[in-house]
Structure 1
Amino acid sequence: MKRIAFVVVLGGVVLAISQPFAMIPGQVRIDTGLLSGTVGSGQPSVRVFKGIPFAAPPLGENRWRAPQPAATWD
Structure 2
Amino acid sequence: MRPRTIPDWIAFVLLLIGAFAWAAFVTDVNVLDRALEPIADPLDDIVFVLIGLAGLYWIIRVITGERSHQH
TM-score normalised by the chain length of structure 2: 0.30
Higher strand fraction: Structure 1 or Structure 2?
1
Q: Give the structure with higher Rg (CA).
A: 1
Relative contact order, higher structure (CA 8 A, sep 6+): 2
TM-score normalised by the chain length of structure 1: 0.29
Higher helix fraction: Structure 1 or Structure 2?
2
